[in-house]
A and B are shown apart, each in its own frame.
Chain A
Amino acid sequence: MATIQFKQVSKVYEGGVRAVDAIDLSIGEGEFCVLVGPSGCGKSTTLRMLAGLEDITDGTLELDAQCVNDLSAKDRDIAFVFQNYALYPHLTVAQNIAFGLESRRTHRSALVAALRGNSAARHAESAAIEARVASVSHTLGLDALLQRRPRELSGGQRQRVAVGRAIARDPKVFLFDEPLSNLDARLRIETRAELRQLHRRLRATIVYVTHDQEEAMTLADRLVVMHEGRIQQNATPAQCYDAPANRFVASFIGTPPMNIIDGTIETREGQCSFVASGIRVALPSRWAPFSNTPRAITLGIRPDRVHISNASSNAIPATVESIESLGDRTDVALRCAMGRILMRSLPESLQNIREGDAVHVACDPAHIHLFDAGVAGARLTPIA
């Protein structure tokens, strides 16, 4: 177990591409930290810098309060699970799991040990490695596969071997680079639960990279949302969902994504409202301080906080564009003057609605989020 600290860490590739831009991040002992973001956001580069597979251009990276900028990968005592598993194809499962232990043993050669007269110590070391492989493979249910080679395994089994190889060494930190992305949907959910259990059992510090926000939400103790090489939000999954730090996080976290509508905020006749394309949505009074002078603003509302309503002053007239039934819930796409709005409801509440119908929808005012205008718009915090 270890603590990890990124201090103003940057990575600039040859040709001037700035993959990671002065990030500050501190990960505590035993924490399950998930880096999430779209492709090219710098999450994998951050992980690879932590592993020692990429040089750090600028800043300081500390493991257990010690700078490891110039420490090679093999000396950092970390384990890395790759997206494609990277199992050694010419070795059996047992040899793959033992590989890291073998390469770190003190008595490497049987001949040298015999010459030096410490064969007994070497035997003891070999026995310890064997016992470790047996215990790890038992934990992961790999006992029956130990003599197989990677090409004889299924995707899920290979993934487990890769995890086994990582835990066999009992490293300070585990790094996972999109380890579930090659599995089918069902296996992914199962493995997700297994990883969570494994973390509970090992209480190890884990840094996990994924582009799948659902995976990120379910696994993380702490979620780090990245975009264009910068950290957008570093908080618990619930905080990222309920109080996204900016417009990017708001639209990235959550499935289906949050509805984002550009407009202005203003107060007319004592009522603070959001106005877009001539449509006015009344806002609770706690937003009033932001509306003293009319200003451009972005409104965000989660699809499950939009509902069909009666024609009232606060309702938005819309047309039903499409209805997708998912069994336990139904996603409805609506077209209104403000643009496209997604709504997620229980099937019972939508029984009389058909595609093409004209309806009115309303937003749950307590769950409206407001952001500064612009792509990087920061969250506005209402007065409590």
Chain B
Amino acid sequence: MKTRAFQYFLLTLGAAAFAFPLWWMCVVSLETPQRAEAAITGSAGIALIPSDPQWSNYLHAMRETGSDPWWGFIDALSNSIVVTVLVVVGTVLSSSLVGYAFARLRFRGSRSMFLLMLATMMLPGQVTMIPLFLLFREFGWIDSILPLVVPAYFGNAFFIFMYRQFIAQIPESLVEAARVDGLGHFAIWWKIILPLCKPVSAICAVFTFIGTWNDFLGPLIYLHTDESSTLAVALNSFKNQYGGLEDVHLLMALSLLTMIPCIVLFIAAQKTFVEGLARGAVKG
């Protein structure tokens, strides 16, 4: 009993430590400008729960994003949504398709190609940044979402590896049964493998979502106009414009707004992470 209480105590302590920055952001975003500034500078304490929450801070922050009132925020939000959705869909589809090929198709050179693909994981993003920029400029893709979205449709080495490991554990007989039932490889991937890969797809989708939603460097390099920028870039411009202590409540409000989709998604997909769907596929 004692050990259990101690465990809970430790876990609560850890959770509190991790939740603190979020809570702090939340509280500051709801304070009046004066109290927020005082809290930042340390000249006054901060209430656990704001006594007079300023919900208008959020509206204010949204209105002030970008150069066009309201539209700056709406543009950035819709750009972020479009890019993120396209990248998530592309990564899940392409990575699972390639993972299936590596796991289940026997073809000459598959092993060395797999190793080569794994080797690309060792390459830091900074190394490919300039060649990629030159390439996409050659294509005339600058200031469009294409440089951010198209590479996702060519698979992601880490997720391909994850899919391959998972698919290799799906009984071969399921694939064979589907072949006998009249399906080709593409249909097998779509109708059998992809539904069975739900746990991996959830992980892939959530991590890709968070990575793309929060991606700052990519949009900064390829998107140059206000209308085409994503939330992460808009947030940065907002910081440059309203980075003063007197506006910190607005910055916190906008930061929190930007984070909401990631938090919601993580909570929603949590269950699928741990769910093993392949249970009961065969004898048990």
**How far is it, in angstroms, between the C-alpha of A155 and the C-alpha of B283 when the chains are bound?**
7
**How far is it, in angstroms, between the C-alpha of A99 and the C-alpha of B195 when the chains are bound?**
15
Query: Are B173 and A104 in contact, CB atoms less than 8 angstroms apart?
Result: no
Looking at the complex, which one of B177, B184, B187, B283 makes contact with A182 (CB distance below 8 Å)?
B283
Report if A86-B280 is in contact (Cβ < 8 Å); known contacts: A74-B179, A80-B180, A103-B182. Answer: no
Is B101 in contact with chain A by the CB < 8 A criterion?
Answer: no
Query: Are B196 and A84 in contact, CB atoms less than 8 angstroms apart?
Result: no
Query: Are A103 and B176 in contact, CB atoms less than 8 angstroms apart?
Result: no
Query: Are A85 and B283 in contact, CB atoms less than 8 angstroms apart?
Result: yes
Closest-CB distance, B195 to chain A (whole angstroms): 4
| Set of chain A residues within 8 Å of B278, measured between Cβ atoms | 89
Query: Are A80 and B177 in contact, CB atoms less than 8 angstroms apart?
Result: yes
Query: Are A80 and B280 in contact, CB atoms less than 8 angstroms apart?
Result: no
| A-contacting residues, B150-171, CB 8 Å | 171
Q: Which residue of the partner chain B has the closest CB to A84?
A: B282
Looking at the complex, which one of A73, A84, A99 makes contact with B173 (CB distance below 8 Å)?
A84
Q: Mark B161-204, 1 if CB is under 8 A from A, else 0.
A: 00000000001011011111111100100011001100000000
Query: Are B182 and A86 in contact, CB atoms less than 8 angstroms apart?
Result: no
Q: Which residue of the partner chain B has the closest CB to A105?
A: B182
**How far is it, in angstroms, between the C-alpha of A152 and the C-alpha of B182 when the chains are bound?**
26
| Set of chain A residues within 8 Å of B280, measured between Cβ atoms | 89, 149-152
Range for the number of chain B residues in contact with chain A: 20 to 34
Report if A85-B282 is in contact (Cβ < 8 Å); known contacts: A73-B179, A90-B195. Answer: yes
Q: Which residue of the partner chain A has the closest CB to B192?
A: A88
**How far is it, in angstroms, between the C-alpha of A368 and the C-alpha of B180 when the chains are bound?**
46
Query: Are B180 and A73 in contact, CB atoms less than 8 angstroms apart?
Result: yes
Q: Mark A47-91, 1 if CB is under 8 A from B, else 0.
A: 000011100000000000000000011100011101111111110
Is A30 in contact with chain B by the CB < 8 A criterion?
Answer: no
Report if A53-B179 is in contact (Cβ < 8 Å); known contacts: A84-B282, A90-B277, A152-B280. Answer: yes
Q: Which residue of the partner chain A has the closest CB to B184?
A: A74
Query: Are A103 and B180 in contact, CB atoms less than 8 angstroms apart?
Result: no
Query: Are A89 and B279 in contact, CB atoms less than 8 angstroms apart?
Result: yes
Q: Mark A230-268, 1 if CB is under 8 A from B, else 0.
A: 000000000000000000000000000000000000000
Q: Which residue of the partner chain A has the closest CB to B195?
A: A90
Query: Are A150 and B177 in contact, CB atoms less than 8 angstroms apart?
Result: no
**How far is it, in angstroms, between the C-alpha of A90 and the C-alpha of B194 when the chains are bound?**
10
Is B19 in contact with chain A by the CB < 8 A criterion?
Answer: no
Q: Which residue of the partner chain B has the closest CB to A168?
A: B181
**How far is it, in angstroms, between the C-alpha of A103 and the C-alpha of B184 when the chains are bound?**
10
| Set of chain B residues within 8 Å of A84, measured between Cβ atoms | 171, 173, 282-283
Is A294 in contact with chain B by the CB < 8 A criterion?
Answer: no
Looking at the complex, which one of A53, A103, A155 makes contact with B183 (CB distance below 8 Å)?
A103
Is A377 in contact with chain B by the CB < 8 A criterion?
Answer: no
Q: Which residue of the partner chain A has the closest CB to B106?
A: A14
- Give the most central of A73, A89, A99, A152: most B CB within 10 Å: A89
Query: Are B174 and A88 in contact, CB atoms less than 8 angstroms apart?
Result: yes
Query: Are B192 and A82 in contact, CB atoms less than 8 angstroms apart?
Result: no
Report if A74-B183 is in contact (Cβ < 8 Å); known contacts: A53-B176, A86-B171, A86-B177. Answer: yes
Is B131 in contact with chain A by the CB < 8 A criterion?
Answer: no
**How far is it, in angstroms, between the C-alpha of A72 and the C-alpha of B182 when the chains are bound?**
9
Query: Are A82 and B176 in contact, CB atoms less than 8 angstroms apart?
Result: yes
Closest-CB distance, B202 to chain A (whole angstroms): 14
Is A100 in contact with chain B by the CB < 8 A criterion?
Answer: yes
Is B125 in contact with chain A by the CB < 8 A criterion?
Answer: no
**How far is it, in angstroms, between the C-alpha of A79 and the C-alpha of B277 when the chains are bound?**
26
Query: Are A80 and B192 in contact, CB atoms less than 8 angstroms apart?
Result: no
Closest-CB distance, B259 to chain A (whole angstroms): 33
| B-contacting residues, A79-122, CB 8 Å | 79-80, 82-90, 99-100, 103-104
| Set of chain A residues within 8 Å of B21, measured between Cβ atoms | none
**How far is it, in angstroms, between the C-alpha of A363 and the C-alpha of B43 when the chains are bound?**
109
Q: Mark B262-280, 1 if CB is under 8 A from A, else 0.
A: 0000000000000001111
Is B244 in contact with chain A by the CB < 8 A criterion?
Answer: no
Is B281 in contact with chain A by the CB < 8 A criterion?
Answer: yes
Q: Which residue of the partner chain B has the closest CB to A181?
A: B283
| Set of chain A residues within 8 Å of B179, measured between Cβ atoms | 52-53, 72-74
**How far is it, in angstroms, between the C-alpha of A73 and the C-alpha of B183 when the chains are bound?**
9
Query: Are A86 and B173 in contact, CB atoms less than 8 angstroms apart?
Result: yes
Query: Are A86 and B282 in contact, CB atoms less than 8 angstroms apart?
Result: yes
- Give the most central of A82, A104, A149: most B CB within 10 Å: A82
Is B124 in contact with chain A by the CB < 8 A criterion?
Answer: no
| Set of chain B residues within 8 Å of A103, measured between Cβ atoms | 181-183, 187, 191
Closest-CB distance, B92 to chain A (whole angstroms): 16
Query: Are A82 and B279 in contact, CB atoms less than 8 angstroms apart?
Result: no
Closest-CB distance, B3 to chain A (whole angstroms): 36
Is B109 in contact with chain A by the CB < 8 A criterion?
Answer: no
Is B284 in contact with chain A by the CB < 8 A criterion?
Answer: yes
| Set of chain A residues within 8 Å of B173, measured between Cβ atoms | 82-84, 86
**How far is it, in angstroms, between the C-alpha of A74 and the C-alpha of B182 when the chains are bound?**
4
| Set of chain A residues within 8 Å of B181, measured between Cβ atoms | 74, 99-100, 103, 165, 169
| Set of chain A residues within 8 Å of B277, measured between Cβ atoms | 89-90
Closest-CB distance, A353 to chain B (whole angstroms): 43
Besides A85-B283, A104-B182, A150-B280, 16 other A-B contacts (C-beta < 8 A):
A74-B183, A80-B176, A80-B180, A82-B176, A84-B173, A84-B282, A86-B174, A88-B192, A89-B277, A89-B279, A89-B281, A99-B181, A100-B182, A103-B183, A165-B181, A182-B283
Sorted from nearest, which 3 A-B pairs have the closest CB atoms?
A151-B280, A84-B282, A86-B173
Which residues of A are in contact with B by a Cβ distance under 8 Å? 51-53, 72-74, 78-80, 82-90, 99-100, 103-104, 149-152, 155, 158, 165, 169, 182
Could you jot down 24 A-B contacts, CB within 8 Å? A52-B180, A53-B176, A72-B179, A73-B176, A73-B180, A78-B180, A80-B180, A82-B177, A83-B173, A84-B283, A86-B171, A86-B173, A86-B177, A86-B281, A88-B174, A88-B178, A90-B195, A99-B178, A100-B181, A103-B187, A104-B182, A151-B281, A151-B284, A155-B283
